[in-house]
Amino acid sequence: MLSIRDLRVSVDGKEILKGLSLEVEPGTVAAVMGPNGSGKSTLSYVLAGRDGYEVTGGSMTYEGVDLLELSADERARAGIFLAFQYPVEIPGVSNRVFMKAAVNAARRDRGEPELDAYEFIKLLRDKCELVGMDKELVKREVNRGFSGGEKKRNEILQMALLEPKLAILDETDSGLDIDALQAVSGGVNALRTPERAMIVITHYQRLLDHIIPDVVHVLWDGRIVKTGGPELAHKLEERGYDWVKQEVA
Amino acid sequence: MSPLPQLRERAASRFEALGWPSARSESWRYFKVRDLREGGFTPGSPAPSPADSLPAALDGADRIVVINGRTASGPTERDGLTIGPLGDSRRHFDGTSQLLDDAAMVALNTQHFVDGIAIRAPKDAVSERPLEIVLLNVAAGPTPAMASPRIFIEAGRNSQLDVVFRFVSGTPQDGPALTNALIHVVATDGARVRTATVCDEAANTMHIHTTLVELGRDAHYASHVVMRGAAADRSEIRVRLADQGASCDLRGLYVADGKQVHDNYTQIEHLAPHTSSNELYRGIIEDRATGTFQGRVLIHEGARVSEAHQLNNNLLLGDAAVANAKPQLEIDNDDVVASHGSTVGQLDDDALFYLQSRGLSYEHARGLLTYAFASEVLDGMASTTLAEQLGRELEEELSGGTEHASWPTEL
């Protein structure tokens, strides 16, 4: 589904990803673990199509299409979803107005009829229940005044509404206490399907106790340096990233 | 003896002495003063009502139609309000006469207004529906025509009154025109008056309105000014918080594109203790347009325990767009709370990317964010119907679509 080959990405002239290769299969959850500064956020932003990330080499192919040819919104409508590490507060924009616009943008692209307010509300109600989101929050402005946990849950709600083929969860565990972590993970697990692929990007192993990955990759200095099963995450937790560093060196 | 002919005579001589406003005056320096001065505007003649130039009526309101400054139709009584021509009652002019000395456009209006409208809300009257006044400027020929509408609103003790002014033009092929309106509001003790002024005139029109407000004890005035049209729009609002507990809330939204000039000048005088004022003005300025907000607040020595807040935000959406933001606070006593702030900027990149990452096109994301920026200004407007309508129109204009359809109340 997603094939990244020897990807090189620079930000402000500084190379962050230095030949990263990664394959993600439909229906699988791939964890990408790495210490601070290894390039985790760069990977998520470059996949989502953010400006300012200059691809200097390599390729990203999604369902046979060169991702670099698609703008951020085209990627989203093609089924790529990024759950932000720091979801943006947008004063004055209603959460549900925004979500309806997003759902309908994708439907238009697929040639499906748009949902009216009533149809959308029905869908929204179902998805709120699925991911355990407080229905009052969707009437508020996008993420404005939300707690850390509410913001992350709002991301998962959007994922539930947009039903992406490939979801990238960027440090979804950051800033969450254990209850919020469980709630958010529960929402993510409810969205696992035999077709949907997920890339779970995280520093710590604890998120992977709740969202069990099929495969674990270790990102180090802009490259995937080690790949294994879920047990690799535990080994990292016990021995720290220095252990990988020594092995690589 | 009637004071009116004398007043007009004095106004004429004052205007002759003052001349058209010039860029030497700080409050006029960003306006198209040259086009105003050299426009050759003379009082326009009466014109029939071109029904198709009128905007659709707001719900349930029987409205007043003013054409070229002359009242063409409308009720004389509604919800306890009495409505009629200004006549020559001293009460209708006294509050403005001292302004003739330095305000050229007030003098010019006084010299030329035709019949005018006096609206009176008696003591304790509470009108449920806003009174809508449509002011149409129809330039009948190639001669640059000037309309001088004039409205006097008097709100009696504890009365409540909402008035909507909608300034529109005739058909686009009409000649150049100037609207020079004067709105005078006197709210006595405990009264609450809200006005919404929407300036939507055609591109060959210059629009100027001066709103003078005098507030008594615990009286409240709320104003919304929305500018979208005209070659040049100017709103000047002067509020006197003349007695204890008086308060005002002034909001403005200016959406300028092309080479439009939108000019807002406000002056609030705190003359008594426990008075408060609040201002929120926002500009969306595109292309080569200019948007200006100048807000003067004077807190006099006797206005102890007073509060004044002012905020002006501008969104620049064109490389050659210009925003001028000038707060001016003059405080003559220590016992006040005052704040002011102004920003000039672009849309937030993080917010744009967030919306795009959910599948919204750049144009759509930009429109939603711009609409969000604008919509807060419309809160609390004298007519909810009008606020909603403006919101939809703005969204359509800014993003090429509407997302703010009606929502079911239950989720």
Q: What is the DSSP string of B334-361?
A: SSEEEEEEEEEE---HHHHHHHHTTT--
CATH of the domain at A42: 3.40.50.300
Indicate if the pLDDT at residue B172 is higher than 70. Answer: no
Provide the pLDDT confidence category of residue B404 given band limits of 50, 70 and 90. Answer: low
In a domain? residue A121 = no
- Tell me the C-alpha distance between A94 and A102, whole Å: 12
A123 touches chain B (CB under 8 A): no
- Tell me the C-alpha distance between B128 and B115, whole Å: 27
Can you give the pLDDT at residue B34? Answer: 95
Can you give the pLDDT at residue B3? Answer: 80
What is the block-wise mean pLDDT of chain A (249 residues), using blocks of 10 residues?
A: 97 96 97 94 96 96 96 97 96 92 94 94 93 89 93 95 97 89 91 96 92 95 94 90 82
User: Are the CB atoms for B68 and B181 separated by under 8 Å?
Assistant: no
B284 touches chain A (CB under 8 A): no
Top residue of B284, B358, B364 to mutate, by most chain A CBs within 10 Å, is B358
Q: Tens digits of per-residue pLDDT, B173-218? A: 667 899 999 999 999 999 999 999 999 999 889 999 999 999 999 9
Residue spans of the domains in chain B: they are 4-346, 348-411
Indicate if the pLDDT at residue B61 is higher than 70. Answer: no
Q: Average pLDDT, whole number, for chain B?
A: 92
Strand A54-62 to A65-66 pairing: antiparallel
Size of interface A-B (CB pairs under 8 A): 96
CA A197: distance to chain centroid? 10
Number of domains composing chain A: 1
Contact A162 B359 (CB under 8 A): yes
Provide the pLDDT confidence category of residue B44 given band limits of 50, 70 and 90. Answer: confident
Provide the pLDDT confidence category of residue B1 given band limits of 50, 70 and 90. Answer: very low
Q: Could you give the C-alpha distances from B236 to B103, B105, B200, B355, B359, in angstroms and in order?
A: 11, 10, 16, 38, 43
- Tell me the C-alpha distance between A223 and A6, whole Å: 9
In a domain? residue A80 = yes
Provide the pLDDT confidence category of residue B375 given band limits of 50, 70 and 90. Answer: confident
- Kindly identify which residue of chain A lies nearest to residue B373, measuring between CA atoms: A92
User: Are the CB atoms for A26 and A197 separated by under 8 Å?
Assistant: yes
Looking at CA atoms only, how far is residue A212 from chain B in angstroms? 26
Contacts of B354 in chain A (CB under 8 A): 84, 87-88, 90, 142
Q: Which position has the higher pLDDT, A32 or B62? A: A32
In sequence order, what are the residues at sequence separation of 6 or more whose Cβ sits closer than 8 angstroms to the Cβ of residue B294? Answer: B26, B27, B264, B265, B266, B324, B326, B328
Q: Which residues pair with A168 in a beta bridge?
A: A82, A199
Provide the pLDDT confidence category of residue B91 given band limits of 50, 70 and 90. Answer: confident
Mean per-residue pLDDT for B246-264? 97
Indicate if the pLDDT at residue B93 is higher than 80. Answer: yes
Can you give the pLDDT at residue A7? Answer: 98
- Tell me the C-alpha distance between B147 and B180, whole Å: 6
Can you give the pLDDT at residue B56? Answer: 86
In a domain? residue A126 = no
Indicate if the pLDDT at residue B71 is higher than 60. Answer: yes
A79 touches chain B (CB under 8 A): no
Residue B126: DSSP 8-state? B
Contact B356 A116 (CB under 8 A): no
Mean per-residue pLDDT for B256-269? 96
Residue range of the domain that includes A44: 2-90+143-248
A102 touches chain B (CB under 8 A): yes
